[in-house]
A and B are shown apart, each in its own frame.
Chain A
Amino acid sequence: MNEYSLLLPLLLPLVGALALLLGHRSLYWQRVGGVLFASATFALSLYLVYVVDQFDYVVIQLGNWEAPFGITLVADRFSAIMVAVSSFMGAAVAVYALNEIDEARLKKFFFPLYLILIFGVNGAFLTGDLFNLFVWFEIMLIASFVLISMGGEKGELEGGLKYVCLNLLSSVMFLAGAGIIYGKTGTLNMADIAQSLSSSPDANWAISSSMLLLVSFGLKAGIFPFFFWLPASYHTPPSAVSAVFAGLLTKVGVYALFRAYTLMFVPIFPEVQNLILVLAVLTMVTGVFGAASHFDMRRILSFHIVSQIGYMILGLAFMTPLALAAAIFYLVHHIIVKTNLFLVSGVVIRLKGSCDLAKVGGLCKSAPWLAFLFFIPAFSLGGIPPLSGFWAKFALVKAGLEIESWFAVTAALLVGVLTLYSMTKIWGEAFWKKQPEDVDAQPLPNPVGSLRWMVAPIAVLALSTVLIGLFGEPLFSYSERAAAQLLDPQGYISAVLQTEVEVLP
């Protein structure tokens, strides 16, 4: 019975995509079905979180091939919360897309591809097999490739080309790393790899393949020095697409890094810890400087994805229970907030025809509700109490102070201040200052329906940010339990390989 809780969030988007493809003539069905299946996936993923929190691990051996020979699907607390929060974004952005995605894109199968993207993301979170992870990445990537370039405009094609090439390169690195690991250990099951690495007398050969995986996942996550494709491409597609990319795709890379270094590469982690720490700090710093130098709302937000990824990787580099819990909390907070900010930028474009800060202004007066809805996620990102970002940063900095990593803590705090600077820049330019008189800001021509469905998800996401800030205790204690699970790879290994000795009462 518990197995269904794991299978359903995975299968439902696929079934949905097929159903939408079968009814591709009816645009009404595309819209309704897209929202329906995305929301149902979210509902089922909540059930998965509930089940996993009760039973610690949910494991399925696909086709009844016993691990390590078959493909295993595993959900622990970390992957369950990732599935839940990304399905939440999937549902919210599907609603938003109702009023943003035009008919031409709907006819080019926007919603089926969108559901395939969610399918790939959820699969990547739930698989327990290294090569299977590669396949999920590819499913996710091919859907995202089409989504980013389907409009066929110059910017989209150009940004899409950069995105596609670098992601193909990262897949190649992944394949090479997985191949070497397979050649050395003779297994692809992540739990089995972890076991054979931890019991081998000399695990140092794994450093090279772990570096290949670090480059590959780092490219996808957008860490320094592999992030250049991200700010060059994320601002080109419609906001619904950028939002779901910003919220989900880079986080799959972060998830894979966490999974690799808390499970498979535990024995060699001390060797690479300093490298990851330095990369995390450089990611934070370069991202925030890039954001400070820009004057276009979506480009600023793209650079902030990079800088915030640094915080999460920092949690991984500290590798203490509190730091990992903080990183998981940070992931949840950041997915919600960043998706929301991109959704707001889409409304700004719709109202003013642009999100270049030099051209827009006066939104505080003409759309005070939007200013309010921007204020919450923006200042949550900057880490203002009592919003969710404050607690995420607070826990991370506390974890850094506990292990006396002064350098990283200083960087994290400085980057926090600079984040606040760029958020106030957007606030001051787009919302507070008067509309520049020499610029003729027109709303976008031919909007799709009213603004209603664009604003509703923004409000829901802003509300959840506030709720996480005010009543974050359950989520944080869940994160702590998830971190405890991550720090105990033996539990994961015995759950997957079923070597556990059953103790009968």
Chain B
Amino acid sequence: MENLIAVLVGVLFATGSYCLMRRSIVKLVIGVVLISQGANLLVFTSGGLLSGRPAFVPADGVMTPGSFGDPLPQAMVLTAIVIGFGLTAFLLALVTRAHEAVGDDDINAFNNTDT
């Protein structure tokens, strides 16, 4: 399972990078979103993917041997998803306004402040 997710993370990073290299600013947003989802999935996987083994101490206090799923990465990923959600909303609004101001969705037209 981990291997599959690892490949998926790679695919997300690759497609995200590809979208970032394109010239349309909408694809820029899509690229940022894809890459950040890739990173979220990476953190999520780092806690171990185990089904049916939550990190609780049973009522009798006896821990069964074997590994447990780690809940902390899930908490981290939730935080990261929420932050990413807010930032994506802001980025979309900014892209809309910038598109209005520049009048083009080609990245190459965004060179007025360049050096």
B11 interface residue (CB < 8 Å to A):
no
Contact of B115 among A134, A164, A186, A299 (CB under 8 A): A299
User: Does A34 sit within 8 A of B, measured CB to CB?
Assistant: no
How many contacting A-B pairs (Cβ < 8 A)? 114
Chain B 82-96, CB-CB to A under 8 Å as 1, else 0, gives 010011001100110
A152 to B28, CA, bound (A): 20
CB distance from B85 to the nearest CB of A (A): 12
Give the complex CA separation of A322 and B99 in angstroms.
Answer: 50
In the bound complex, residues from chain B placing their C-beta under 8 Å from that of A153 are: 101
Q: Once the chains bind, are B36 and A158 in contact (CB under 8 Å)?
A: no
The answer on a CB contact under 8 Å between B98 and A131 is no
B80 within 8 A of A: yes
In the complex, what residues of B have CB within 8 A of residue A146's CB? Answer: 90
Bound Cα distance A142, B86 (Å): 9
Tell me the bound Cα distance from A391 to B40 in angstroms: 45
Task: Collect the chain A residues with CB atoms within 8 Å of residue B39's CB.
Answer: 172-173, 175-176, 179
Interface residue from B32, B80, B86 paired with A165 (Cβ < 8 Å): B32
Q: Pick the residue among B28, B80, B94, B113 that contacts A232 (CB under 8 A).
A: B113
Chain A residues whose CB sits within 8 angstroms of the CB of B102 once the complex forms = 154, 157-158
Q: Are B113 and A164 in contact (CB under 8 A)?
A: no
Question: For residue B29, which residue of chain A has the nearest CB?
Answer: A165
Do most interface residues of chain B lie in helix, strand or loop, or is the interface mixed?
A: helix
A39 within 8 A of B: no
Are A169 and B35 in contact, with the CB atoms below 8 A? Answer: yes
Contact check, B94 vs A157: say whether CB atoms are below 8 A apart.
yes
On whether the beta carbons of A290 and B115 are closer than 8 Å, the reply is: yes
Give Cα distance in the complex from A134 to B36, angstroms. Answer: 14
CB distance from B90 to the nearest CB of A (A): 6
Does A294 lie within 8 Å of B91, measured CB to CB? no
CB nearest neighbor in B for A138? B83
The closest CB in chain A to the CB of B111 belongs to A158
Choose one: A149, A165, A175, A294; the contact of B28 (CB below 8 Å). A165
Query: Is A158 within 8 A of B113, CB to CB?
Result: yes
Chain A residues whose CB sits within 8 angstroms of the CB of B80 once the complex forms: 134, 175
Give the total of A residues in contact with B, Cβ under 8 Å: 45
A3 to chain B, nearest CB (A): 25
Q: Is B79 an interface residue (CB 8 A)?
A: yes
Nearest B residue to A153 via CB reads B101
Q: Is the pair A142, B112 in contact by a Cβ cutoff of 8 Å?
A: no
Give the contacts of A211-263 with B (CB-CB under 8 A): 228, 231-233, 235-236
Number of interface residues of B (CB under 8 A): 36
Interface flag for B97 (CB, 8 Å): yes
| Set of chain A residues within 8 Å of B45, measured between Cβ atoms | 183
Residues of B within 8 A of A135 (CB): 79, 83
Q: B90, A145: Cβ atoms under 8 Å?
A: yes
Q: Which of B57-79 contact A (CB under 8 A)?
A: 70, 72-73, 76, 79
Interface centre among B39, B86, B97, B110 (most CB of A within 10 A): B39
A294 to B113, CA, bound (A): 13
Please tell me if the beta carbons of A158 and B46 are within 8 angstroms of each other in the complex.
no
In the complex, chain A residues whose CB is within 8 Å of the CB of B90: 142, 145-146, 164
Q: Contact: A154 with B87, CB < 8 Å?
A: no
Q: Are B94 and A155 in contact (CB under 8 A)?
A: no
Contact with B along A4-39 (1 / 0, CB 8 A): 000000000000000000000000000000000000
Would you call B54 an interface residue if the criterion is a C-beta within 8 Å of the partner chain's C-beta atoms? no
Contact residues in B for A175 (Cβ distance below 8 Å): 36, 39-40, 42-43, 80
A454 to B58, CA, bound (A): 65
Chain A proximity of B2: nearest CB distance (Å): 10
C-alpha spacing A134/B43, complex, angstroms: 13
Give the residues from 111 to 156 in chain A that come closer than 8 angstroms, CB to CB, to chain B. Answer: 131, 134-135, 138, 141-142, 145-146, 149, 152-155
Q: List residues of chain B with CB within 8 A of the CB of A321.
A: none
In the complex, chain A residues 155-171 whose Cβ is within 8 Å of any chain B Cβ: 155, 157-162, 164-165, 168-169, 171
The distance in angstroms between the C-alpha atoms of A169 and B88, with both chains bound, is 12
A175 smallest CB distance to B (angstroms): 4
15 other A-B residue contacts (CB within 8 Å) besides A145-B90, A159-B113, A168-B36: A142-B87, A158-B101, A158-B102, A161-B98, A162-B110, A171-B36, A172-B32, A179-B46, A180-B46, A182-B43, A183-B46, A188-B76, A228-B115, A299-B115, A303-B115
Task: Supply 21 A–B pairs (Cβ within 8 Å), ascending by A.
Answer: A138-B83, A145-B90, A149-B97, A154-B101, A155-B112, A159-B113, A160-B98, A161-B110, A165-B28, A168-B32, A172-B38, A175-B80, A178-B43, A180-B42, A182-B43, A183-B73, A228-B115, A235-B113, A294-B115, A299-B115, A303-B115
Q: Which residues of A contact B (CB under 8 A)?
A: 131, 134-135, 138, 141-142, 145-146, 149, 152-155, 157-162, 164-165, 168-169, 171-173, 175-176, 178-180, 182-183, 186, 188, 228, 231-233, 235-236, 290, 294, 299, 303
